[in-house]
Amino acid sequence: MQSHLFWLVPAASLLALGFAAFFYTRMKAQPEGTPLMKEIAQHVREGAMAYLQQQYKVVAIVFAIITILFAWMAYGLHLQNKWVPFAFLTGGLFSGLAGFFGMKTATYAAARVAHAASISLDQGLKLAFRSGAVMGLVVVGLALLDISIWFLVLNFFVADADPSHKLLTITTTMLTFGMGASLQALFARVGGGIFTKAADVGADLVGKVEAGIPEDDPRNPATIADNVGDNVGDVAGMGADLYESYVGSILATAALGAAAFSQINDPVSGFKAVIAPMVIAAIGTAFSIIGIFAVHTKAGATQRDLLNALGRGINLSSVLIFIASFFVLKWLGLPNYAGIWGAIVVGLITGIVIGKATEYFTSQEFKPTKDIAQNAMTGPATVIISGLGTGMLSTVVPVVAVVVGTTLAYCLAAGSWHFSPASMSMGLYGIGIAAVGMLSTLGITLATDAYGPIADNAGGNAEMAGLPPEVRMRTDALDSLGNTTAATGKGFAIGSAALTALALLASYVEELKIAMIHAGQKTMDVAGEAVPIISATLTQFMTHFEVHLLNPKVILGVFLGSMMSFIFCGLTINAVGRAAASMVEEVRRQFREKPGILKGEDKPDYARCVAISTLGAQREMVLPSMLAVATPVITGLIFGVPGVFGLLAGGLSTGFVLAVFMANSGGAWDNAKKYVEEGHLGGKGSPAHKATVIGDTVGDPFKDTAGPSLNILIKLMSMVSIVTAGVNVAFTLF
């Protein structure tokens, strides 16, 4: 038994955190440029930290309430494992820490990147990318740390003579700390998303459209808020989102592994199956660090060169994990290791396919976005119509990729091309490990994501500080690269969320099993027969709970799940609308009361705009978040386990497709505008440009608020169901 391989996990965690600290100190040692650059950076930094403080206040209250509820459920009602409240808290804490460090780094890096770009493009790229890598490495480092600590603690404390049962208890308990991460991520995504788009839309509507001043103009009072928004939405929000997918996929897969082998009473293989996803994640982290060092470029690099530079790093990490995971699994001695390795490869490839499809549908180099721009010749209405239509059509590739990928991963891990009840547990484990495979190189893929807003802010800083044109050109090149990586990053985030949610859905059954045993049940009824719970097959479980598609509770759950996705988007989109309206009023007020601002003679009140976005986000983030937490619980109370399964399936499928649609429509509108700005169809200032600006504004809450928030919704609803499985077992109305 190769249990010592587990120690790779804490080792990788420390390695990641060490390199994060290294990149951070190196970045901090760089000069921040002129006094004006420093001042602007200081404004953004303060705004970002002020926002984060507010967000964490709201989060702290919500966490306190939920922790008390969980403690009551665990110690008062005995409906739950006694570790849950603590696991929940650490999950939230570590996710919050990751967001904090990532954003701190990003806000320190922006001016330094602008300064580095004034030396050379390569210096700028490296600094921006390695600052982004701090986020990537902190996320994976803290995630692996949390996993390692809990795994060791629970192994020590959980007393159970039956090793299979012990393993299942440990993994299902650990899964609950995913809910802490999930809830933290929800606030980060929803709050950050509302903040950033309220500022962006507000800044554009008054600045660009009414006052006719360019983007990032220091005369616009909302411009600092806009730059703060990039950090809180795209850095902290994206980081928390992927932290959750990462942790969720590893823990769900561990629980599925424990379950698959507990059924056939093979605890030795069970242990291997539990640590396999952790070990894969650990070695992926090491390869991510190698990949990060491979990213550099030359002087006078073109856009293609820059893209290749990033691609080189990611490809290197992927190839290394592709090869190494085979040998690790073989060494671990997991049964059917070749098939499980196949599932990992399928996960990696699925991620790449989704990324490429996103690029195709949202980049102005390809037909779909060019067609949307072409529609600008007949006005904004046709831009919107074609953007919506194209976004809807673009869902086909990611969905088919996930369907094909899931089928392959299932069959490879199950070791059979026919779906049979006997191999179902291993097949589901394969789906989980495919998600782990997709996320194994998160250290570097997340670095690419966090790079985007850093480059964007560097550009903003250079513009506001009035740096010379050749520097602006370099920061523009870096920024433009960031737009491409942002779009593919969104696709990747959605795809991995979908696979993770699938794995979570499957592991919900394991939580039910534990909850039933916890409640003193030893057998369950399947068609009049008493079947021992611990050795029941998945089919028997589902038959016992009547989770089939003719049970109206299941179907109505699916309806509610689909509705939840839309409601959630509607709430967040309207929240952006309201917050943006307040921003518009504030900017108009400042222009009106201090006419000197527009002439460049008077200083706008940046802090006020930051405060408005903060307040808007804080006020608007609570309702959608509470809805996401309450719906699975209420559905469970009314319709029981079948209703919850339906809710999760409906929410997952509709949420996934809707998220892809929104992200791609938004991305395509953004780039259709860029396409016109590059000089096509009349270029800047033409009627076509105005039409595409309207498209871009509509797309803002789509791609940066509602769409990404859905990633969390689909995972959080599963997490809440997992954590409240005890309640579902104990009580149902119908």
Residues 354-413 that bind its own copies (CB under 8 A): 375, 378-382, 384-386, 388-396, 399-400, 402-403, 406-407, 410-411
Q: Which residues contact 345 (CB under 8 A, 6 or more apart)?
A: 322, 437
Q: Which CB, 144 or 431, lies closer to its own copies?
A: 431
Q: Residue from 218, 248, 636, 646 that binds its own copies (CB under 8 A)?
A: 646
**65/385 with CB nearer its own copies:** 385
| Residue whose CB is less far from its own copies, 309 or 411 | 411
Q: Which residues on adjacent β-strands are paired with residue 532?
A: 523
* Contact predicate 472/462, CB 8 Å: yes
The 3-state DSSP class for residue 391 equals helix
User: What does the per-residue mask of binding to its own copies show for 488-517, with x meaning CB under 8 A?
Assistant: --------------x--xx--x--------
The answer to whether residue 687 forms part of the interface with its own copies (CB under 8 A) is no
Gyration radius (Cα) of the chain, Å: 25
730 binds its own copies (CB under 8 A): no
Candidates 81, 105, 562, 613; binder of its own copies (CB under 8 A) is 562
Of 56, 326, 360, 559, the one binding its own copies by CB under 8 A:
559
Q: Name which position in 29, 161, 299, 527 contacts its own copies (CB under 8 A).
A: 527
Query: If binding is defined by CB under 8 A, does position 722 make contact with its own copies?
Result: no
Piece of 171-179, 511-519, 560-568, 590-598 that binds its own copies (CB under 8 A): 560-568
Query: Cβ distance 474 to 124 under 8 Å?
Result: yes
Q: Verify binding: residue 205, its own copies, rule CB under 8 A.
A: yes
Which of 556, 676, 681, 729 is in the footprint of its own copies by CB under 8 A?
556
Choices 165-173, 260-268, 337-345, 576-584 (CB under 8 A): range interacting with its own copies: 576-584
In whole angstroms, how close is the CB of 22 to its own copies at the nearest point?
42
For CA atoms 42, 47, 50, 52, the dihedral sign is negative
Query: Applying CB under 8 A, does 68 fall inside the site for its own copies?
Result: no
Closer residue to its own copies, CB minimum distance, 117 or 509 = 509
Q: Given candidates 181, 656, 672, 704, which one binds its own copies under the rule CB under 8 A? A: 656
Report CA-CA distances (Å) from 659 to 250, 671, 676, 709, 720.
Answer: 23, 18, 26, 8, 20
Tell me the C-alpha to C-alpha distance, in Å, between residue 163 and each of 265, 269, 449.
9, 11, 41
Q: Is 701 in the site for its own copies (CB under 8 A)?
A: yes
Nearer to its own copies, 2 or 686 (CB): 686
Pick 258 or 477: Cβ nearer its own copies: 258
Under the criterion CB under 8 A, does residue 625 sit at the interface with its own copies?
Answer: no
Give the per-residue SS3 of 116-128: HHCCCHHHHHHHH
Task: Evaluate whether 140 touches 281 at the Cβ level (below 8 Å).
Answer: yes
What tokens were used for 439?
């996320």
561 makes contact with its own copies (CB under 8 A): yes
The reply to whether 429 sits near its own copies by the rule CB under 8 A is: no
Instruction: List, as one string, the DSSP characters of 569-599.
Output: HHHHHHHHHHHHHHHHHHHHHHHHH-THHHH
Helices (H), 118-212: 121-157, 163-175, 177-203
If one asks whether residue 137 binds its own copies (CB under 8 A), the answer comes out as no
How open is the CA angle 611-616-617, to the nearest 5 degrees? 100
DSSP helix/strand/coil, 540: helix
